[in-house]
Amino acid sequence: MKSIKESFTTDAINIKTYPLGEYDNIVVMFSRQYGLIKGIAKGVKRPKSKLGARMQMLVANKIMLKNGRNFDTICEAQALNTFTKLRTNLDKLTYSMYLTEIINAMCTDSDEDVESNEKIYQLFYNVLEGISNSLNKIEIFLHSIRFQLKFMAQIGYGAEFETCLKCGCKIADGAYFSVSSGGVVCKNCRHGSDVYIGLHKKIREFLIAQQNCQNGEKTSYDELVDENFCEKCFLLLKKYIDSHASRPARALKVLKEIT
Ligand SMILES: [Zn+2]
């Protein structure tokens, strides 16, 4: 779609950069219209670069790109949100980086499903803003968990917590979660070769509430949960996502190594 135009404009969030030669960087971005895209930020490492700080990780820009043979070139960038408060807190930064890794691992280059790209962009933008404004680690977890659930649903891997994957019964109590299938089975159906993780009723109910809540809304669980409970849920979803990703996310491993 974009290849027929000489240049194009889109909103995009920087998710990864790597060096190209002495002065340039390649920037991987998730864009509102085209999904995952790459562009060269020419001269970005020169002291007087006009792109400069806008090409850092986790900045949302309105950008103009010019089509190139191998790579598009980023000609202009106007910052939409720099998510400043992400950068001053190691937890905020680490969980945000983890989310960029999921997007990078699960999305494909220049996906032309504009409607889906738009939804993922909005989820991503909202989660970065949410994490940026979080007042404690529980809030960071809540934003991350919602993103994990909603992002997976958006790309066609929505997790099932209400109905047994095997017999279809409505589960009333605890259940068993299959990481590879991304859903729960009832106690009668848990026998077989799949590996299951026991899910307490409270965890199941909490995850269903997070799955169904709209952006910006609170659920009745948000005030009740503690950090441990949230971390458990977060890691369960991480396991599920890792099992579907081409490469497992590293950001949290790095946090463990430096703290
Ligand atoms: Zn069953």
From the first residue on, what is the mean pLDDT of each consecutive set of 10 residues in the chain (259 residues)?
Answer: 73 95 94 94 89 92 92 94 95 96 86 89 97 96 97 94 95 91 92 87 95 88 94 95 78 66
CA of 230 to the centre of ligand 1 (A): 26
* Distance, CA of 3 to CA of 204 (rounded, Å): 45
| Number of domains present in the structure of the chain | 2
Domain that holds residue 174: 84-258
CATH number of the domain enclosing 7: 2.40.50.140
Q: Which of 46, 81, 116 is the last residue of a domain?
A: 81
CA 221 – ligand 1 centroid, Å: 27
Name residue, tokens 């109910």: 205
| Residue 59 shares a structural domain with residue 117 | no
How confident is the model at residue 216, as a pLDDT?
A: 79
pLDDT at residue 110, as a whole number: 64
**Domain final residue, candidates 81, 109, 138:** 81
Q: Are residues 110 and 186 in the same domain?
A: yes
Query: What is the structure's pLDDT at 191?
Result: 84
Tell me, yes or no, whether 49 and 93 share the same domain.
no
Interval 57-89: pLDDT, tens: 999 999 999 998 888 999 999 999 999 999 999
Same domain, 77 and 100: no
Query: Is residue 38 domain-shared with residue 96, that is, in the same domain?
Result: no
Are 67 and 112 found together in one domain? no
194 CA to centre of ligand 1 in angstroms:
14
pLDDT of residue 1: 47
Q: Are residues 152 and 195 in the same domain?
A: yes
DSSP SS3 for 75: strand
206 Cβ contact partners less than 8 Å away, ≥ 6 residues apart: 219, 221, 225, 229, 233
**Residue holding tokens 């949302």?**
60
CB 28 within 8 A of CB 12: no
The CA 158 to ligand 1 mean position distance, Å, reads: 19
What are the E-state strand segments in the chain? 7-20, 24-31, 35-41, 60-66, 72-81, 175-178, 183-185, 196-199
Q: 172 CA to middle of ligand 1, Å?
A: 11
Give the angle subtended at the CA of 146 by the CAs of 186 and 241, to the nearest 5°.
Answer: 65
Residue 178 CA to ligand 1 centre (angstroms): 12
- Same-domain status, 10 and 63: yes
Query: CA 238, CA 145: separation in Å to the nearest integer?
Result: 9
Last residue of a domain, one of 64, 81, 98: 81
pLDDT digits (tens, 9 = 90+) for 1-26: 445 568 999 999 999 999 999 999 99
User: Do residue 158 and residue 69 come from a single domain?
Assistant: no
Distance 186 CA to ligand 1 centre (A): 4
Quick one: 145 and 50 in the same domain? no
- Asked whether residue 21 falls in the same domain as residue 65, the answer is yes
Give the CATH number of the domain where residue 111 resides: 1.20.1440.120
Q: How far is the CA of 213 from the centre of ligand 1 (A)?
A: 26
Residues 66 and 99 in one domain: no
- CA–centroid distance, 243 to ligand 1, in Å, is 23
Cα of 166 vs centre of ligand 1, distance in Å, is: 5
Instruction: Calculate ∠ Cα 244-246-252, nearest 5°.
Output: 85
